[in-house]
Amino acid sequence: MKILKFGGTSVGSAQRIKGLLDIVDPKERQIVVLSAVAGTTNALVEISQAFLAGKRETAIELIKTHKNKYEHLIKELFQTEQGQEKGKNLIDYHFNYISSLGNEMFTPVEEKITLAQGELLSTTLFHFHLEEIGVPSVLLPALDFMKIDEDNEPIVEYIAEKLSNLISIHGSNQLFITQGYICRNSFGEIDNLRRGGSDYTASLIGAAIQADEVQIWTDIDGMHNNDPRVVKNTSPIANLSFDEAAELAYFGAKILHPQSVFPAQKYNVPVRLLNTMDPQATGTLISKEGGTTGQIRAIAAKDDITAIHIHSSRMLLAYGFLRKIFEIFERYKTPIDMITTSEVAVSLTIDDTRNLGDIIKEVEDFGRVSVDHNQTIVCVVGDFSANTHGYAARVLDAVKHLPLRMVSYGGSDYNVSMVLDTEHKTEALRSLHNRLF
Ligand code: ASP
Ligand code: MG
């Protein structure tokens, strides 16, 4: 069985929804995972924020505007009167429901319910469309099988069991449709897998049912060897290993949700990145065998990084020092991305600065602390194992005219990362591209 995930722009209009059948072959056994229609989740975030802030009128106005878009969409999507009617009832139901949540009891719980409506809408619209044109499909409610635990980690065994049951009930069916992004948490409440989480859903489903392949359909022809928005003449990479893909997805290659690599890797399910606008293009295949030796594969960058520098003579010859520092970040649930150390100092980076003030206050007990904002991590992925020498030198040579804040080499065999001021990012990416490819 294959899993096919389509992002928001791939279901962004009536025409695109109908166009899904150019790619989805209803005779093949598969699960189609859909994001919300492009722009919807952003709108739902805005609506929730208005409700949370007690601005009910603003929220209702936003709901109206957004519902309007859907009214246009269903007019174009459905041919029959019955189809129109079903579409109309559907959007009435979801938007009325969102409005009904908006009272003084609107809490983060209601917010998550609101955010879930986007995927519920897109999948049902596609299902109704198929019904109208006589293509059998089964809508699988993600809220009946997609579950995360108290640490927000998906429970793959649970997903596997519930999903297999649901599929076996509809044993004779081929085409299944389900919602990306949404799930239930450990309290059984409606929750989600964070923004961009539909890729993660697809990968989790692929892992849970041991799929043959997970296909992520977007609007670019695979993962590129540099950021196409910044550098000219980038090219898609045909094959990547899971490790390489994880590094690239995390460090800025926006095309794939970083966490989605891990379930696929753990259960060895290949992931293919494909382009809805150009379905014949080869895209990128991420698999166990996808790595190559003796090559630099790609360059990626991640902005909005904050670098924290801790200088402490107490670190000298001491043990347990780093643990104490890391514990502070752990307590504030703040992931550390990159670290570099010397005997008396340590530098590290974070991208979630919500608790920065409190973290710094605590870290200051251990030494002198300075913080640099507006930093960028530039990451070069390739074969940097110790026995292929010279590549790290080429990387550093390409950026020798730029002030580097941190350099990390040797953490893994396939990555060299650097931190520099965001104002130097464009030059770093271009210079690396020209020297390395
Ligand atoms: N609709 C959600 C979002 O916009 C999930 C996704 O599209 O992957 O973040
Ligand atoms: Mg996405």
Task: Select 297-436's CATH number: 3.30.2130.10, 3.40.50.300, 3.20.20.60, 1.10.1740.10.
Answer: 3.30.2130.10
Segment 69-76 mean pLDDT? 98
Cβ contact 388:409 at 8 Å = no
Question: Is the domain covering 2-218 a CATH 3.40.190.10 domain?
Answer: no
pLDDT of 294: 84
> Which strands sit side by side in the sheet containing 213-218, from one edge to the other?
138-140, 175-179, 30-34, 2-6, 213-218, 271-275, 284-286, 239-240
Asked if pLDDT for residue 316 goes beyond 80, the answer is no
pLDDT bucket at 98, cuts 50 / 70 / 90: very high
Mean pLDDT to the nearest integer, 256-276? 95
**Beta carbons of 392 and 436 less than 8 angstroms apart:** no
pLDDT, mean over the chain: 95
Using alpha carbons only, what angle is made at residue 222 by residues 220 and 227, rounded to the nearest 5 degrees?
Answer: 75
pLDDT value at 30 more than 90 = yes
Residue 319 or 166, more confident: 166
DSSP bridge pairs for 436: none
What pLDDT score was predicted for residue 172? 85
Q: For residue 238, how far is its CA from the centre of ligand 2 (angstroms)?
A: 20
- Please list the residue range(s) of the chain that carry CATH number 3.40.1160.10: 2-218
> Residue 252: pLDDT above 90?
no
What's the CA-to-centroid distance between 9 and ligand 2, angstroms? 9
- Is 71 within 8 Å of 94 (Cβ atoms)? no
Question: Does residue 290 have a known ligand-binding role?
Answer: no
Q: Does residue 179 carry a pLDDT above 90?
A: yes
Instruction: Report CA-CA distances (Å) from 417 to 166, 251, 254, 375, 435.
Output: 44, 9, 17, 13, 16
pLDDT computed for residue 32 by the predictor: 98
The per-residue pLDDT for range 132-167, each reduced to its tens digit, is 999 999 999 999 999 999 999 999 999 999 999 999
List, for residues 202-233, the tens digit of each pLDDT value.
999 999 999 999 999 998 899 999 999 999 99
Task: Identify residue 190 by its one-letter amino acid code.
Answer: I
**Residue-level length of the chain:** 437
| Residue whose pair of structure tokens reads 């602390």 in the numeric block | 369
Reported as a pLDDT band with limits 50, 70 and 90, residue 435 is very high
Domain with CATH 3.30.2130.10 in the chain: 297-436
Q: Which H helix or E strand runs over 16? A: helix 14-19
Centre of ligand 1 to C-alpha 192, Å, is 9
Percent of the chain at pLDDT > 90 equals: 87
Helix or strand (DSSP H, E) at 42: helix 40-52
| Ligand 2 mean position, distance from CA 171 (Å) | 30
Whole-number pLDDT of residue 50: 97
Nearest CA to ligand 1 atom 5: 196
- Spatial distance between the Cα atoms of 384 and 222, rounded to a whole number of angstroms: 23
Query: For residue 313, is pLDDT > 90?
Result: no
Query: Who lines ligand 1 at CB under 6 A?
Result: 7-8, 35-36, 41, 118, 180-181, 195-198
Is it the case that residue 319 has pLDDT exceeding 90? no
Ligand nearest to the Cα of 41, by number: 1
Output phi, psi for 371, to 5 deg.
-125, 135
Cβ–Cβ under 8 Å, residues 393 and 421: no
Most informative mutation of 35, 40, 199, 203 for ligand 1 (most atoms within 8 A of CB): 35
Confidence of residue 412 (pLDDT cuts 50, 70, 90): confident
Confidence of residue 103 (pLDDT cuts 50, 70, 90): confident
315 pLDDT exceeds 80? no
Per-residue confidence band for 361, with pLDDT thresholds at 50, 70 and 90: very high
Which atom from ligand 1 is nearest to the alpha carbon of 199? 8
Of the pLDDT bands very low, low, confident and very high (cuts 50, 70, 90), residue 60 is very high
Closest ligand by atom to 201 CA:
1
Distance 222 CA to ligand 2 centre (A): 13
Mean pLDDT of 4-29: 96
Pocket test for ligand 1, best of 6, 32, 195 (most atoms within 8 A of CB): 195
368 is in an annotated binding site: no
Q: Which ligand 1 atom is the nearest neighbour of the CA of 119? A: 1
Task: Flag whether pLDDT at 175 surpasses 80.
Answer: yes
- Summarize pLDDT for 322-339 with one digit per residue, the tens: 999 999 999 999 999 999
Q: What are phi and psi of 284, to 5 degrees?
A: -125, 130
State residue 104's pLDDT score: 81
Other Cβ atoms closer than 10 A to 396: 14
Measure the CA angle with vertex 50, ends 47 and 55; round to 5°.
130
Q: How many angstroms separate the CA atoms of 331 and 425, rounded?
A: 32
Judge whether 8 is annotated as a binding position: yes
From 9, 114, 181, mutation site for ligand 1 pocket: most ligand atoms within 8 A of C-beta: 181
Check the annotation: does 176 bind a ligand. Answer: no
Q: What is the pLDDT of residue 165?
A: 96
Q: Please say if the pLDDT value at position 429 is more than 80.
A: yes
Can you tell me the distance from the alpha carbon of 186 to that of 215, in angstroms, rounded to the nearest whole number? 28
Establish whether 314 is an annotated binding residue: no
Q: Is 329 annotated as a binding residue?
A: no
Query: Given the CA of residue 201, which atom of ligand 1 is nearest to it?
Result: 8
Ligand nearest the Cα of residue 120 is 1
Task: Please provide residue 42's backbone torsions phi and psi, each rounded to the nearest 5 degrees.
Answer: -60, -45
pLDDT > 90? residue 362: yes
> Is 194 annotated as belonging to a binding site?
no
Res 186 pLDDT > 80:
yes
Residue nearest atom 6 in ligand 1 by C-alpha distance: 196
Q: Whole-model pTM?
A: 0.90
